[in-house]
Amino acid sequence: DAMVIQNPRYQVTQFGKPVTLSCSQTLNHNVMYWYQQKSSQAPKLLFHYYDKDFNNEADTPDNFQSRRPNTSFCFLDIRSPGLGDAAMYLCATSRGAWRRPEDEQFFGPGTRLTVL
Amino acid sequence: SQELEQSPQSLIVQEGKNLTINCTSSKTLYGLYWYKQKYGEGLIFLMMLQKGGEEKSHEKITAKLDEKKQQSSLHITASQPSHAGIYLCGADPSTSSNTGKLIFGQGTTLQVKP
């Protein structure tokens, strides 16, 4: 089945040790998003790609970077994770970026990041 | 910046009972999305409402959009244990153009007791 896949599902890293989270999609969607969701909070958009165009949210810390080498894959790099970066990281994709049901966002299962 | 407020924050109902979850926006809504999230998992799209007065249904879940009130409601009829989870409303905060970005409410946690 076409889907959004995130690896790993659980990631443990040490304070300050770089970590990379992976997202892949078989939907051939143009847009890919990364959200951060802390415990009992709403998902918060970090950045998104429309094709190769990168769009960073104004309040996303510089510590967070992203790469999209091709349509299918998108990576979230956390250069120096702090304790406050422990969260669920959700990847989503959509065909387009219009406000219409056809451009609904499909979410992956998430990667839960623990920082020791 | 736009904010979405959901009420109630949590809800426990007996199986078979009806329930309603509300989502109120601090600014004009240009479309409202409803998602469901099971604990520790990703979000599943339920439906999107685009116009004031619009109402959509998916199985036993109905959502309405009241543009004037900047509010949407999600109603579940004859709740079942499978309805348990976290319900999130989302909206595109951009006023000038379509961006595809979403902001979310804090979520409503629903438990359904058999």
Residue A67 lies in a domain: yes
User: Which one has a higher pLDDT value, B87 or B30?
Assistant: B87
Residue B37: inside a domain: yes
Q: Which domain holds residue A59?
A: 4-109
> Does the residue B12 lie in any domain?
no
The pLDDT score that the predictor gives to residue B41 is 85
The domain that holds A21 is classified in CATH as 2.60.40.10
Give ∠ CA B50-B55-B57 in degrees, rounded to 5.
115
In a domain, A11, yes or no: yes
**A112 vs B30, residue with greater confidence:** A112
Asked if the structure places residue B3 within a domain, the reply is no
Q: What per-residue confidence (pLDDT) applies to B98?
A: 63
- Please count the structural domains in chain B: 1
Paired tokens of A58: 């104004």
Q: Which chain A residues are within 8 Å of B44, Cβ to Cβ?
A: 107
Contacts of A103 in chain B (CB under 8 A): 100
Query: A112–B40: do the CB atoms touch at under 8 Å?
Result: yes
Q: What is the pLDDT at residue B86?
A: 96
In-domain check, residue A114: no
Check pLDDT > 80 for residue B96: no
Identify the domain containing residue B48 by its residue range: 23-72+82-94
Is B62 a member of any domain?
yes
- Residue B57 inside a domain? The answer is yes
Number of domains composing chain A: 1
Please report whether residue B32 resides in a domain.
yes
CA distances from A11 to A6, A21, A92, B25 (A): 11, 8, 19, 35
Contact A99 B92 (CB under 8 A): yes
B100 in a structural domain: no
Question: With helix as H, strand as E and coil as C, how does chain A read?
Answer: CCCEEEECCEEEECCCCCEEEEEEECCCCCEEEEEEECCCCCCEEEEEEECCEEEECCCCCCCEEEECCCCCEEEEEECCCCHHHCEEEEEEEECCCCCCHHHCCEECCCEEEEEC
**A88 lies in some domain:** yes
Residue A2's pLDDT is what? 61
Q: Please indicate, yes or no, if residue B34 is contained in any of the structural domains.
A: yes
Assigned domain for A76 exists: yes
3-state secondary structure of B110: strand
**Contacts with A, B 77-96, CB within 8 Å:** 88, 92
Percent of chain A whose predicted confidence (pLDDT) is above 90: 84
Query: A44-50 and A53-56: which strand pairing?
Result: antiparallel
Mean pLDDT rounded to a whole number for chain B: 90
Q: What are the pLDDT digits (tens) for A52-89?
A: 999 999 899 999 999 999 999 999 999 999 999 999 99
Chain B interface mutation, best of A4, A39, A99, A102, highest count of B Cβ atoms under 10 Å: A99
- For residue A33, being part of any structural domain is answered with yes
The Cα diameter of chain A in Å comes to 41
Residue A116 lies in a domain: no
- B40: domain CATH number is 2.60.40.10
